[in-house]
Amino acid sequence: MKPLFAALALALASGPALAADADSASSHPFSIRDLVMMDRVGDPQLSPDGRYALFSVRATDYTANKGVTSLYVLDLNKPPQPVKVVDKGSSARWAPDGKSIYYTAPKDGTAQVWHRAFDADASGKGLSLTVRTGEAVTDGPLDVNAFKLSPDGSKLLLSYDVFTDCADLACTKERLDGREKDKASGVVYDKLFVRHWDTWSDGRRSQLYIADAGSASQPVLLSRGIDGDVPSKPFGGDDEFSFSPDGQTVFFDARIAGKTEPWSTNFDIFSVPADGSATPKNLTAANPAWDANPLVSPDGKTLFYTAMKEPGSEADRFGIMAMDLASGATREIDPSWDRSAGALQVSADGKTLYTTTDDNGQHPLFAIDVATGKATMLVTDGSVGAFSAGASKFLLTRDDLKRPADLYTADLKGKGLKQITHYNAKRLKGAQMGDFEFFTFKGWNNETVQGYVVKPVGFKRGKTYPVAFIIHGGPQGAMTNSWSYRWNAQTYAGQGFAVVTVNFHGSTGYGQAFTDSISGDWGGKPLDDLKAGWSSALSKYAFLDGDRACALGASYGGFMVYWMAGNWNQPWKCFVDHDGVFDARAMYYETEELWFEEKENGGTQYDHPENYERFNPVNHVKDWRVPMLVIHGGKDFRIPDTQGLGAFTALQRRDIPSQFLHFPDENHWVLKPQNSVQWHETVNAWLKEWTAPKAK
């Protein structure tokens, strides 16, 4: 799960000339071309015997304007040499015997689950790894959203988008086909969501089914009577449903929609017999806040899950809970650990839970002792993106501000960390990057705040450089020691800019009180921190040219750019705003997830209009003076593009130098490679225009 604005504003990036020579090792400043053409390693899955690493690699087909994901297996007992085993597929999982995999891939225009078996190698003690086409085990008329294999490998949990009044999948397909043929295009809605993230509602729900793994042609509905999505939309995955160890019970989380869905974060954990013989039972009805990520202990006696305590909040701390399945009694395992847990994995003996979370500018892997709640950091100094816990080792992805993700192994205490893949090695060898350093300073209320500075490529002591001052989104997010395909500091360093960023009050990884402190105070404490951080960076790093600096931000960072335009515009030569909130009052009525607006502003706009006006950028347009580039996506339903249009209108009417870049086919992010090329070219040109040295 991610906070409302936690996703920053763009994804892939590239440069204008993208020839096949993407692996060139010739020395050059890191560029957008380097970023877009990098292979993305992800979804690590350790085989049951711990010998093989299964993972995905996404490459960019720039001509086709999309990413292409393939599946690889690496024998950890041999010299590292990944073998592609599925040409185009994703979401791969090992069968319990470790001799085959299940994955999703297209078939006849729909996403289906496939099975791919491995032969024994020549020794008879390992697997023969070759590229080979698998066999489709689902053949339904609809896309499979997500799946999970039962512990014995005999069953598959399957998620499909269906009309809940339909008796089977074919009914949903027939209804969709009928709509396509209908000449009338109008749709009548009688409740929200009318649209969510980047999609207009068509009345379907993601529902959970079960089927035989060998032949899934007649799936059985498990989420009967659940007016909600399993997994949740728009970002839910297979961490939201699971089997009991004996395969007899299925657990999942869901938010009952009704007419309160846009202002409710009340997800609950449900259990249901795996044969579908009964309707789901709500296990966490007593908690009106968010319960998520159900996981049963190996002995089948305890349900582990994560839970918030504050209704209506998406950025409350996720504590780790344990429920005795016999009695229903619950306890919080980690009440004294002031971090918000991610999805969970459990050790083979059930005594330890593993999770990742933001922590002081890093995103480490932690072990949580089930008995005591003690949290132990296992892998840090960067970001652990995903991991798979085996009987004796971890398989994980790790990245940082100078390196994209690769696969690593470590023992269960985090020792012996070893990099086992080296994707992008040639690109990294040829691309020069800027060194970085974290710094701290006294921010609002004299409290310690952290940020980091990235030096430009080609840095020389004694010289000064223009600055890109980047403001993160969320606002309950953070700029961490991690690699990004959205706001990547190295793309600015490669253009000759120094980068400064601040994890202001409201950021994650510094304790829940620090995170909560931004609610109701969007333009207060964070602005104090940004001012103090900028002043501290200028005094600490002599190479920063404070007279040649531009501020950039997306989502909440975009709100802050608009707010700074009227309340702190003195230091800046230009602004860049992507998908920002320009008019807080209109935002309440235009966005979809109302719980966020109501939490951040202390209630509805009509009950508390003064709260929405307190930090409303539109009220300060008369003080705008700095040139601004405004960017917005036409399919952004989180912060609709009317917000960007309003800001551009204000800039033009005030005769302030400005540009408006609109992507009709993008949402809150910019996902298409060639759109990202245009994004970066436009942003870089804007920064260079306004930070160019003055003629003498």
Residue 422: CA atoms inside 13 Å, Cβ hemisphere, count?
A: 11
DSSP-assigned states of every residue in 505-540:
TT-SSS-HHHHHTTTT-TTSHHHHHHHHHHHHHHHH
Beta bridge partners of 52: 75
* Backbone torsions φ then ψ of 546, nearest 5 degrees: -65, -10
Active site residue 636: yes
Catalytic residue, chosen from 555, 577, 658, 680, is: 555
Catalytic residue, chosen from 34, 359, 636, 641, is: 636
| Residue of 476, 614, 696, 441 lying closest to 8 (CA atoms) | 476
Strand bridging mode 110-117 / 135-136 = antiparallel
Alpha carbon 325 to chain centroid, angstroms: 31
Active site residue 555: yes
- Name the 3-class secondary structure at 677: helix
Q: How many CB atoms within 10 Å of residue 678?
A: 16
| Residue of 146, 18, 35 lying closest to 91 (CA atoms) | 146
Catalytic residue, chosen from 340, 668, 676, 680, is: 668
Amino acid at 585: R
* Backbone torsions φ then ψ of 430, nearest 5 degrees: -85, -20
The residue ranges of DSSP E strands in 237-276, in sequence order, are: 241-243, 249-255, 267-273
* Backbone torsions φ then ψ of 65, nearest 5 degrees: 65, 45
Amino acid at 522: W
Eight-class DSSP state of 352: E
Active site residue 383: no
* Backbone torsions φ then ψ of 197, nearest 5 degrees: 65, -80
31-37: long-range pairs with CB below 8 Å, 24+: 31/431, 31/491, 31/494, 32/491, 32/676, 32/677, 32/680, 34/427, 34/431, 34/494, 35/485, 35/488, 35/490, 35/491, 36/12, 36/60, 36/62, 36/673, 36/676, 36/677, 37/62, 37/427
The CA distances from residue 554 to 8, 397, 475, in Å, are 6, 26, 10
Phi-psi region of 84 (alpha: psi -120 to 50; beta: other; left: phi over 0): beta
Q: Which residues are catalytic?
A: 555, 636, 668
